[in-house]
Structure 1
Amino acid sequence: MSSGKLQTLDRGIALLMQVARSGGGLKIADLADQLGLHRAIAYRIVATLADHSMVTRLPDGRIVLGSGAIVLGVHAEGSLRTMARPVVEELAAETGCSAFLSMAQGEDCVAVLSTEPREAFLNVHYRVGTRHPLERGASGIAILSSRPEQPGESEAIRAARRDGYAITRGELQKGAIGISSPLRISTEGLQGPGFEGMEFSVGVVALDDLDIERVSAAVRAAAAALSERLGRAG
């Protein structure tokens, strides 16, 4: 390591990049081996990064990127926000609803981008960083529907998998209706970590009754367009 570098910071960044490149996440023992670190050091680095939501530990022990890494990234040029915002803004304008992009972080769903239609008289504000369990709300259910079928999963997840979108009423806010579709990002043949291993959904929320057929079609189209954009980013 060259003079002037902070070894702990250098190791932390290296570990974070290794997690990003892994796609599906890595266990601490694997990270230690790949980076040539003692397992105890790798564990402390992971714990520090987790305290800042840069990584999160799944129930099976795999370490994956956390919402902090995405929130940090959306403030950089060429980042997720730059690529996703035009699609999310178009969805808000087309539907007249607040539109948002969410991602899975462990057992939670976290909003990473939100925008509101300019012409609407009353909107539901969906704040970036808002989180809730994946099993509640259309955005989380949509993400769960993109995973392989699991024993005992809810009818809402099965319906979302069948229909291509999830719809919920009043689950996260009284009177609010949410519709979301999962992103299906293909990185086949691409180089670099891109967004492999990350799970996203895009959707809308409104207080008024929606034309479900029209709005769900717009949400599915936005999910397809955004999946293609993010897939090309690898």
Structure 2
Amino acid sequence: MSSGKLQTLDRGIALLMLVARGEGRLKIADLADRLGLHRAIAYRIVATLADHGMVTRLPDGCIVLGSGAVMLGTHAEGSLRALARPVVEDLAEATGCTAFLAMAQGGDCVAILAAEPRGVIFNVHYRVGTRHPLERGASGLAILAGRPEQPDDPEPVRRARADGFALTQGELQKGAMGVSSPVRICAPGVESQAIAGIELSVGVVALETLDVAPVSTAVRQAARDLSALLCGA
């Protein structure tokens, strides 16, 4: 561990991240093994986090996120929107389309931020809070494409993963064309965008046929820019 780090805090954060990604299946022994810790140390870390409401130990011994972590997540979404807003607004201006940031919530894709280009008379009004299944629309397909490859992935997800962006037309709104890319969120030792349950995509939508090449380039760049911000690069 590099100088300047607090070992106990570092271990606590690493354990909390494992719990967040564990979907309720990890017990103390599992956490100790994955972190290379003695079980007694893992137990004390879990107990400390539980005292602060960050984790809860279920009757079957599995460790899940507690109410304190949920509260942090609620505040984090607001911070995420503030951080992403300049990127989304720049994307709207660069493409002349309505730009958005979307997040996976269960099996749905939810718009958490939207921006419209200045000086454009006709555009799509993408309302924050709009919800639709992940399997429909460019934003949801992009999130699915950002996940690890699965044997049963549908063709649109495979294509989006290969291209780096999802392209749809008329799936959510008649005549609307959408382009979206996954936003990859990094964490030490993890190569996935599903960090602490957060999966994002950024993209644009327009009520006209888009010039896919430049628009997809702008969307992918926005995804890279936002990823860099979220990863602290």
Do they fold alike, i.e. is TM over 0.5? yes
Q: In structure 1, what is the equivalent of residue 165 of structure 2?
A: 165
What SS does structure 1 have at the residue aligned with 2:149? coil
Q: In structure 2, what is the equivalent of residue 11 of structure 1?
A: none
How far residue 129 of structure 1 moved from its aligned partner, in angstroms, is: 1.3
Q: In structure 1, what is the equivalent of residue 58 of structure 2?
A: 39
Q: In structure 2, what is the equivalent of residue 226 of structure 1?
A: 226
What SS does structure 2 have at the residue aligned with 1:159? helix
Instruction: State the Cα RMSD in Å.
Output: 3.3
Query: Is the 2:19–2:26 contact (alpha carbons within 8 Å) kept by the matching residues of 1?
Result: no
1:141-173, CA deviations, whole angstroms, 9 ceiling, x for partnerless residues?
A: 001111122122211111101100000001111
Q: What letter matches 1:166 in structure 2?
A: A
Cα distance in 2, alignment partners of residues 80 and 19 from structure 1: 19
Q: What letter matches 1:24 in structure 2?
A: R
Q: TM-score, normalised on structure 1?
A: 0.70
Rg larger for:
2
For structure 1, the residue ranges without an aligned partner over 5 or more in a row are 1-17, 56-64, 190-194
For structure 2, the residue ranges without an aligned partner over 5 or more in a row are 1-14, 29-42, 190-194
Q: What letter matches 1:91 in structure 2?
A: L
Query: Is the 2:111–2:127 contact (alpha carbons within 8 Å) kept by the matching residues of 1?
Result: yes
Q: TM-score, normalised on structure 2?
A: 0.70
Q: In structure 2, what is the equivalent of residue 131 of structure 1?
A: 131
Q: 2:84 aligned with 1:87, yes or no?
A: no
1:184-233, CA deviations, whole angstroms, 9 ceiling, x for partnerless residues?
A: 122338xxxxx644111100000011110010000000000000001119
How far residue 81 of structure 1 moved from its aligned partner, in angstroms, is: 1.6
Listed as ranges, the matches of 1:73-84 within 5 Å are 73-75=76-78, 79-84=79-84
Query: Is the 2:107–2:134 contact (alpha carbons within 8 Å) kept by the matching residues of 1?
Result: yes
What SS does structure 1 have at the residue aligned with 2:117? coil
Query: Is the 1:19–1:26 contact (alpha carbons within 8 Å) kept by the matching residues of 2?
Result: no
Identity %: 53
1:85-118, CA deviations, whole angstroms, 9 ceiling, x for partnerless residues?
A: 0100000000010101111111111111111111
> Cα–Cα, structure 1 residues 149 and 29, in superposed 2: closer, same or farther, change >3 Å?
closer
Aligned length: 190
Query: Is the 2:97–2:117 contact (alpha carbons within 8 Å) kept by the matching residues of 1?
Result: yes
Q: In structure 2, what is the equivalent of residue 201 of structure 1?
A: 201
Q: What letter matches 1:114 in structure 2?
A: A
How far residue 22 of structure 1 moved from its aligned partner, in angstroms, is: 3.8
Q: In structure 1, what is the equivalent of residue 117 of structure 2?
A: 117
Q: In structure 1, what is the equivalent of residue 35 of structure 2?
A: none
